[in-house]
Every structure is written in C-alpha cells, then in structure tokens.
Amino acid sequence: MARSPLSIGKFLLIFVSWWLIWAFLQTILLMGFGLSFGIALTDSLVSNTLVALSCGFISNNLQYYLPKKERYWYILFLSLGLSILITIACKGILVPLLDSLHRDPNYANFFSRSWPVRFDIIFLQVGCMTILSVLWYSSEEEQQQLQRRSDAERLAKEAELFKLRQQLAPHFLFNSLNSISALITSHPEQARKMIQQLSDFLRGNVRKEEQQSVLLAEELQYLQLYLEIEKVRFGHRLITVIHHDEASLNMKLPPMLLQPIVENAIKFGLYDTTETVTIMIEARAEYANVGPSDEFPPGAPNYVIISVQNPFDPETSRPKQGTGFGLSSIQRRLYLLFARGDLFETRVEGPLFTTIVKIPQTTHNTNI
C-alpha cells in the first residue's frame, strides 16, 4: 500500500504552510468587504480548518481505495459532495458562533450573499487536492508495480544464472570420477592425488557460489586446480600455456567463467587425437578510445579480453555446427549479466579454434 503524501515531513510542512498563508490572505480579503478583523479572522480560521481537514481526509483515505475505472467521475462527485458538506458546515458553525461572540446582525446576511463564491473556492481547493492525491497514489502504485516486475525479473535472472552454473559442475565431476575409477587399480597414487585435487576444486566451487565477482588472478588460481586434475587424466598429452599482462590480474569477471571454456577446449583438442595438444590461454586489459564516464572510470581499463585457443580436426570436431553446452551457457550468462550480445565470440582459423570473451570493467562490476 502506498504511503500518504502527508506522512512525509516535507509534504506535511508544505500542506500546513499553504493553509496558514491562505487563511491570512482570506482574512485580509474579508476585511476588504467591511468585516471587522475579529470576524474576518474567525471566518477564515473556521472555514479553512474545515477545508484542510477534508483535504487531509481525502489524501489519507485514497490510499485505501483508488478506483481503476470511472476515476474522473469519482473525483468529480467526491469533490462536489465534500464541498457541499463543508459549505453547509461553515454556515452551521460560523453564523451561530459569530452571532454569539460579536453580536453582528449583518454577518448572516453577508454569508448568505457570499456562499456561491465560498462554494466555488472550496470546490477548487478540494478538487485540486483530490486530483493531486489521485496522481500521487497512481504514481506510487505504478512505481510499486515496476519494482515488483524488476524484482521478479531479477529473481528469474538469478535463478537462470544459478541453474547454468549448477549444470556445469556435474559434467566435469562425472568425467573426473570416471578417470579416478580407471586409475584406482593401475595408478593408485595418481588416483589419490586426483581425489585430493578434486576435493580442493569442489571446495573452491562452493565458496565461489556466494561471490558476485572475482579478480582474474583468483580465477586463474582456481583454473590451475582444474588443469592439474585434467593433467592427471591426460598425462603428458595435455600442455597448457597461460599468458597475461599485469593490469588484467586486478580486473574482475564473473566467477567460474574460464573453467567451462577451457573444458570445451580440452574436449575438442584432445578427445579426437592421441598426440600432444597445447591449450593457449591469454588475458589482457583493453583501453577503449572513449572519454571518462560513469561506466568507465578515467584511467581504468575498459575491458579484460580472455581468449582460449585449441587445435581441432575440422572433420571430426565440427565446432561450427555446435559448441556444446559449456560455451552456450557462457554466452547466456554474459548476456544476462551485461545485456550485451557482443561479449562472446568463437573463431575458426585453419586447425585452431579460439573462444574469446570480453568482460566490461564498469563502476557497477560488484553487481556481477
């Protein structure tokens, strides 16, 4: 339920100040019609108090009932009805009160002649307050609906991101368990080592679930755990080379972004050959030719560019026809996080397949 504008301090102060100023001006106006200061002040205070209380009643009660259909008829009849009641109440209070206090027989005649003007002024005041209140509550209701929609979209996005991240873990885990099973009888020491590495990897995985973003240096350390496990599986056949510049190490990216990309590279690079395969991983900071802005702080790198390159056999791997769940999930994650479709790219250059991701470094990177 939306708050009443009069429950906000600054609006209440404006409301009270308006009625005090108007009561003062009305007192001067009534004195111009020949009324004494006492009668004019009493008339102004009583009539304006009744109008102010009615406007406060309108403002507070419209938060409980705001018509959706025929809203303008509702505003008209509500303003008209309250204006009639206020005018009648003013006559019922002011004429007996001033007659008993000031003994002025001319005031009753003055009120009878002035009531049409009084009614018009009261109707304008009550009508304006009703319209302003309806606009206020309509705006508040729209803001609440937008907030609910935004929260629902955020929860849906978080749920999809969580699902994407959770779907990656079992794929790698099954492969590792199969390798451990194969090593238990032939190479028990390697199997034991792989179990320990897998434990460290999964422990890090659980901790990263709670993080919104990580430094590239931390992500590379986590990637090394994964590569050590894979090197136990594939032995001397797997060689990895990692290059990075110093600036890129302090740049942020979504957690667990590199592991599925490298896993895809190993899959296409090693599964269809018995030869030694080299996986190249490169990271660098990029400075775009743009001026300082809220998105890119002055002097800071705009992007971290990460590329993963692996050899493949065009006739057996066929990366053009499908890059697998891992890469499609990365592409979807980047779109959900940054609402951009140009941050993920794959290239085929001869016998090499390259995956490139581009992570913006904005002032809002903590929201990753």
* One domain, residues 11 and 90: yes
- The whole-chain average pLDDT of the chain stands at 79
Q: Kindly report the pTM of this predicted structure.
A: 0.54
* One domain, residues 138 and 196: no
Q: How far is CA 187 from CA 71, 231, 236, 237, in A?
A: 80, 14, 15, 17
Tell which of 95, 124, 147 closes a domain.
147
Among 336, 172, 159, which residue's Cα sits nearest to residue 254? 336
Answer yes or no: is pLDDT of 208 > 80: no
Tell which of 147, 172, 198 closes a domain.
147
Among 67, 79, 78, 53, which residue's Cα sits nearest to residue 137? 67
Among 127, 28, 29, 36, which residue's Cα sits nearest to residue 74? 127
Answer yes or no: is pLDDT of 245 > 80: yes
Rounded distance between C-alpha atoms, residue 257 and residue 262, angstroms:
9
Choose between 272 and 141: higher pLDDT. 141
pLDDT digit string (tens) for 31-70? 888 888 888 888 889 888 998 888 888 888 787 777 766 6
Rounded distance between C-alpha atoms, residue 110 and residue 34, angstroms:
10
Rounded distance between C-alpha atoms, residue 61 and residue 130, angstroms:
11
Return the pLDDT at 306. Answer: 95
Domain membership of residue 160 (yes or no) is no
Cβ atoms < 10 Å from Cβ of 174: 10
Reported as a pLDDT band with limits 50, 70 and 90, residue 283 is: very high
Return the pLDDT at 163. Answer: 61
Residue recorded with tokens 């599925």: 260
Domain, as residue range, for 47: 5-147
Q: How far is CA 348 from CA 84, 188, 357, in A?
A: 81, 40, 15
The helix/strand count (H/E) of the chain reads as 9, 7
Rounded distance between C-alpha atoms, residue 165 and residue 57, angstroms:
53
Tell which of 97, 127, 147 closes a domain.
147
